[in-house]
A and B are shown apart, each in its own frame.
Chain A
């Protein structure tokens, strides 16, 4: 297949692909979650099993290695077509049975179906985890083979680009995106159409090239939606960028991908090669005279490069240090030319908006936060994985209905959204103490209050901001009673202190200072007044830092102080960590009634401070114990308890 020289040639190729005879398909999820559970081995087992049984030669099923199916906690996931059967927790050893029973005999392997509360579900669509979701961006992720452009064309790829090239003026494209109400999915929520318009205006005043950039530097711990898009439906990103390039008159795009995502880089490289081969990228695309190409830049492991000016510096081959804005990248970006930077998920939204229209898009979600958003729902939640929901759905619906609530007997405590820049918001309504409200008046707390119980909190840009958190890129980490907010706040600060580029003082020294407070708290030291001093220092970072990293860095601390002051006080005043996490405030103890004297803990203790005869209850020497947790980890009968 050579270059397609016209729209008609593209459509005839698409028709040809669609006309191919229908074949049974086995879709094996190769998303990050399933991969970690050996999905590649499952896929190989399918290929081997089918090859062994040559009877199937005439109706040989196609083994498709797809992107993330979402339901990571049940991996490896396998979807079958046309039976629509959905098998979970598939191991390579299960594969011969699936081939013999299901593919050859048409029988269901009952034990591999997803089961919950006594019910078994045959197809994915029936499973509660998927039922409430609204898949737009993830629709083709998990369905298509990301390494095969023809499979993407079959699912409708580049249809919107054709529409943008042939039926819309550049102004109309920008208007459509503006009216649709698309806001940046990377966390900021800045209106995308507005940004595009600015680039066009700036280029008009100052003629020359403009550039577009896709930010795939997904550095927030606990977030992997951009990875899922890049690995599962790479052409959606390329198509979105091409449409944006058309609208803004850009001829070169850059895709900045995080260093830790080698699979995403590989997938995107293949997608770009295939798109170039068909003439969907490059010179004179589809004979319309439109030129556009994309280059991949691999990140090099710096969280701060998610910040737009740092990212641009990194593309130019320099140290990724942010610079003062203005000038904004839309004024002076790459090589001082107007540049638009959108997140990967934002770009992937664009083809759908062009395809279905602004009104359709604006009708999904809520006013001011339109469309859908992908979240990675992880932590202490039963069903974890990737979920796509309409904006405005309540947090309770996501955590309890889709996520199935907290496993075990622990209580649901809080949700952390927005990664290190976000906040920790409590599940239960908290009446704020009067002194906290007073802090608001002097500006110590920049944002609003917790308006309602978390389970009724709508998940959209503005409601989350009002609760003191941010949408962020979409990480959603569920915490239960065994998680300590002081420890989580300390964790994020340590992360940010390490990732701070060190250019501006408030961030460089402020994070160190804040860490000192929290280190003291976690050891039971400090005075109650230190909590306010910490909040005040946090506000100095909010006001004084150069870039978004420093300005949002105090959020986890400020929200946890706001909603969990009692827990801070428990550390400082009572010298207790109620969740049993902070090492200096807890002790490990062996329950003599449960211990069977297997000696495993004593053998593994790095301090050799566990004593006890064989088959007799053991004891820990508290003075020598470093609370490393090894004994708890190795105990086969759960006799080690934290107090």
Chain B
């Protein structure tokens, strides 16, 4: 608990103690730690003055919050309309098969988290997959597998 508090003190100080800052704080903690731990959630609640149940409902309602640790690499397969038409769904399935996890899950070794997103705005290059901050445009099962193998080598 002690360390958890020290961790996020600087983040908490960014916002006044008011319920309206609940989402902002969750976002900042999510960005910093890539997930929101139960300890952090409690500290945020104390800071903005809302019950844990309310923070829990907010954290589970919005998609960008994760209550479990995320993998080292984040794979986001775009399933926007254009990507859907151009085979995004098949790419997502190929990722599921290759990584052995369903979308939304993280591999047991915490290397990869697989997610699907609703549109990355790069429709002209559909289908698109994002691996961490890099885009893979006009993705195919083949070049995606190659790119994932590269990430796995740590040579990214």
Residues of A within 8 A of B (CB): 32-33, 35-37, 72-73, 75, 219-224, 227, 259-261, 297-303, 314-320, 376, 378-380, 384-385, 416, 419, 475, 477, 479, 483, 488, 491-492, 495, 501, 604, 606, 628-630, 633-634
Contact = CB atoms under 8 A, between A and B. Distances in A.
Which of B18, B62, B123 lies at the interface centre, i.e. has the most chain A CB atoms within 10 A of its CB?
B123
Contacts of A316: 19-20
Contacts of B97: 606, 628
Given A302-B63, A376-B123, A633 B90 contact: yes
Nearest to A220: B119
Given A72-B124, A300-B62, A491-B81, A222 B119 contact: yes
A219 B18 CA distance: 28
A628 B94 contact: yes
Given A72-B125, A300-B63, A475 B87 contact: no
Contacts of B40: none
A215 to B, nearest CB: 16
A63 to B, nearest CB: 21
A224 B123 contact: yes
Interface in B32-48: 48
B55 to A, nearest CB: 10
10 contacts: A72-B123, A73-B125, A221-B118, A223-B119, A260-B121, A317-B22, A317-B50, A319-B61, A628-B90, A629-B90
Given A319-B57, A606-B97, A633-B90, A385 B124 contact: yes
A224 B121 contact: yes
B82 A379 contact: yes
Interface string B114-144: 0001111111111010000001010011100
Contacts of B84: 221, 488, 491
B118 A219 contact: yes
A626 B82 CA distance: 23
Contacts of B81: 221-222, 378-379, 416, 419, 475, 477, 488, 491-492
Contacts of B67: none
Contact of A630 (B27, B63, B94, B123): B94
B118 A495 contact: yes
B26 A303 contact: no
A384 B124 contact: yes
Contacts of B99: none
A423 B7 CA distance: 49
A633 B62 contact: no
Q: Taking chain B's interface residues, is the majority helix, strand, or loop, or is none over half, making it mixed? A: helix
A491 B90 CA distance: 14
Nearest to A416: B81
B58 interface: yes
Given A224-B121, A633-B141, 17 more contacts: A72-B124, A221-B79, A222-B119, A259-B63, A261-B121, A299-B64, A300-B64, A301-B63, A317-B50, A317-B58, A320-B61, A320-B62, A376-B123, A379-B123, A628-B90, A628-B93, A629-B90
A224 B82 CA distance: 12
B17 interface: no
Contacts of B27: 259, 298, 300
| From B119, B125, B137, residue with most partner A Cβ within 10 Å | B119
Contact of A303 (B18, B118, B120, B123): B118
A36 B140 CA distance: 15
Contacts of A630: 90, 94, 141
Contacts of B62: 259, 300-302, 320
A36 B121 CA distance: 10
Given A221-B80, A221-B119, A301-B64, A317 B124 contact: no
A314 B124 contact: no
Contacts of B141: 604, 629-630, 633-634
